[in-house]
Structure 1
């Protein structure tokens, strides 16, 4: 492992975000605030305000008032506004990406890519919102005919984690607005300004006051307040399984619709007949992307017997050569974890695994005297009783174990209650077909970790959630179906 030591490029003074309610960015006033911390330095770079109950009531009233206007806006015009927002995000890509890096630590190259992908998703929503077609069905009696139409569900609430602050914001607000819904959006407090920058692009593109709101604060307080209101008709959440379960229970009291993109613990099956060099190169790159803080991150690697030892050695060698440092330093391959709690959690999982017999092939320690850095870590021969085999690490730790044959591999891959993403590497067409049918996941990558585009649905099964974001399904999630009989 190498530590990047060159000085990061200069950046303008961080501008603390504010609440966005009814088209106005509000001054903090006497609201409670919390610091926004740069995880590479452990220093506060700004503050984020907490919304009060009065703030949330104002946001609810504005979303309810703006909904009829936005619903009546033609899909073509809504699409034009969203496209303008995508173009503004593209023009501001460098500033938005730097905000994401400052707030949650990812390398600037990854933040730029995230912003670029968010622009593409916003453009997709702009186009797909024009295709929310219904259908006409001939009746059986007389001259009766039936129309099936799709309508926006109403005002919505979106909640996201901090790991992709730009992409999550664009995905939540873009899909809701494309369908004709209004949204109150709460990003993670760790990376609020990057999400606010996306909202600013929507406002500058012409989104009317009240159609979007951005609020921050204690998650349980905000979710309980918003979900208790009859104004909200649907929620979309990206985050952990326990929080998702909590939100589902709250939503069930008033039968609100839900889309849940929850945690994962993605298996990777590497067969002896796979292109081992390619599988190894891709695996290391994707494992340590965003310091492993990715819901679809490959985590449980199962390698067939003949290839196991060489794959383990190669993985450890490549992981140890990654440069760890401030994300604003272009030479850094991996940045810090988002906060001390995440670093401490990873450290505890690694210590538990090694205490139960796992082999530490690389990493396993903190890096630097400041910042929430943890070395890219590789564990091999990890016993099933180790916590990391059943708990999503959400950090820079790869777990390597062996398998004997196809049935053994599938049994290991499907063992956990999670089912967000799964991956397989093989050159056998027969095995590819069997993997596609047998892996229990909402998204499966074969010989690739590229499992998502704006055109494809993103979502999981089992404890990893329900419903889909992005693609046709992502827009339809914000619409209800109405049948009309006409004689």
Structure 2
């Protein structure tokens, strides 16, 4: 989806007012008293010290959420339309505070401020979409054999743990919170340790909107402590996680070892974007360039660009020109198009993959180095002559590295597109609708775009095949993930 807004000028000196754990509509210190540092990736400087939640804090949050979900509670007794009214109010508050929230995301994540502003506005749109669902959740009547009246009832799964990634923290909070609250669940949310400030600020807006205590709880902390406590907790009925495939395996194992809780996983990707000879090259180059918009730190980034041999050289030339012109800098630099990587570990990983590509014979067209300055900046990098056996062709880079491959036939590119453990997204550019449909049918990916890329909306389900995850978020399918189906059968007095 696209939300067109003209953002005001960002403020890198936005005051940080909320740094504590949020339980029962109150901000509290960690049980241990510990805090952890949050750094600005563009300056490597300390932004704030945030309360460090761990198992003890998760236990408190789950107890609050469990009480709020109990039969007879204010939340469980609330009319569905009243739940919707609270979500509408929350969406309004996000819009009213869009500037502050976007500033916080830019400060802790490094995303260019205009992009942070757009994604914050989109978050309100996601929450508002699910607000409209609250009084439209219903079961069915079933004409079963025999003398009975049979119906189904949709019920919330219960207490839900939601683990938010650092790359789009506000948006991911909204698209997880919206369907869960629309369904009537209560939440324990753990933001990424790199980007907790936006989630904590959103918690204050939840309280301001009027949600009852315990319905939404936010516990900042580290994955191996707070995250693990959520994944293993016996009173949590479902976990929704967005992040790496490696951590997804850990969460799925924990869910099985604890109480067989439901799990929704939105994980990594190695997404192909296929450009045929007849494609609009300028449009294809522009959409392929979306890889650089969040410094390559997106699960759906088109990190494998397959270009048909007839236009390969022309595409490479155009792609290099666009990448070379990218303005890299601090989130608040006017005209900035690419910000920093999130931390030093990510920088080291990306640079290591760039060096591997050089050794393995890919042609470095532009970029390839860390930018000498404060902050975790890497030059926009383009490789041509990439082959399928190279590390950059197989591993998720999560950095500003575009890899361009050459292909000849439709069948060949289908096979090569599917030759990966991932299956999150794919794109195809061609003026031949039959080719486009055949590719869309054959590619093993949960999301396929034709003559566009990275276009999504709250109404359409999103998720992946294979190690890109399980379950779907957004759309009605995203709502269904937070609902149980109960079948009720009533004996009737006669066959009439």
Fold conserved (TM > 0.5)?
Answer: yes
Q: CA deviation at 1:150?
A: 0.7
Q: CA deviation at 1:30?
A: 5.6
CA distance in 1, matches of 2:18, 2:68: 27
Q: Structure 1 residues 209 and 8, CA, compared in 2 at 3 Å: closer, same or farther?
A: closer
Alignment of 1:57-76 (within 5 A): 57-68=59-70, 69=73, 70-76=75-81
Equivalent position to 2:355, from 351, 355, 378: 351
Equivalent position to 2:138, from 123, 133, 136: 133
| Aligned residue number for residue 120 of structure 1 | 125
Matched, 1:211 2:215: yes
CA distance in 2, matches of 1:84, 1:310: 50
Alignment of 1:194-343 (within 5 A): 194-253=198-257, 254-284=259-289, 286-343=290-347
Alignment of 1:154-165 (within 5 A): 154-165=158-169
Q: CA deviation at 1:16?
A: 5.0
TM-score (norm 1): 0.96
Q: CA deviation at 1:53?
A: 3.0
Q: CA deviation at 1:224?
A: 2.9
**Post-superposition CA distance 1:62-85 (Å, at most 9, x none):** 111001332332211111000100
Matched, 1:402 2:406: yes
| Aligned residue number for residue 394 of structure 2 | 390
Matched, 1:416 2:420: yes
CA distance in 2, matches of 1:453, 1:101: 22
Q: CA deviation at 1:451?
A: 3.4
**Post-superposition CA distance 1:405-460 (Å, at most 9, x none):** 10111111110010000111000011111012111100001101143101011111
| Aligned residue number for residue 472 of structure 1 | 476
Matched, 1:361 2:360: no
C-alpha contact (below 8 Å) 1:129/1:475 kept by paired residues: no
C-alpha contact (below 8 Å) 1:109/1:330 kept by paired residues: no
C-alpha contact (below 8 Å) 1:39/1:103 kept by paired residues: yes
CA distance in 1, matches of 2:241, 2:308: 36
* Unpaired segments ≥5 residues, structure 1: 1-6
CA distance in 2, matches of 1:160, 1:29: 22
Alignment of 1:37-116 (within 5 A): 37-68=39-70, 69=73, 70-116=75-121
Tell me the secondary structure at the aligned position of residue 456 of structure 1: coil
Tell me the secondary structure at the aligned position of residue 324 of structure 1: coil
C-alpha contact (below 8 Å) 1:107/1:334 kept by paired residues: yes
Q: Point out the more displaced range, 363-372 or 66-75.
A: 66-75
| Aligned residue number for residue 442 of structure 1 | 446
C-alpha contact (below 8 Å) 2:14/2:103 kept by paired residues: no
**Post-superposition CA distance 1:262-293 (Å, at most 9, x none):** 10011010000111111112221x11111110
* Unpaired segments ≥5 residues, structure 2: 1-8, 492-496
Tell me the secondary structure at the aligned position of residue 258 of structure 1: strand
C-alpha contact (below 8 Å) 2:316/2:384 kept by paired residues: yes
CA distance in 2, matches of 1:62, 1:417: 39
| Aligned residue number for residue 11 of structure 1 | 13
C-alpha contact (below 8 Å) 2:11/2:103 kept by paired residues: no
Q: Structure 1 residues 227 and 356, CA, compared in 2 at 3 Å: closer, same or farther?
A: closer
Tell me the secondary structure at the aligned position of residue 436 of structure 2: helix
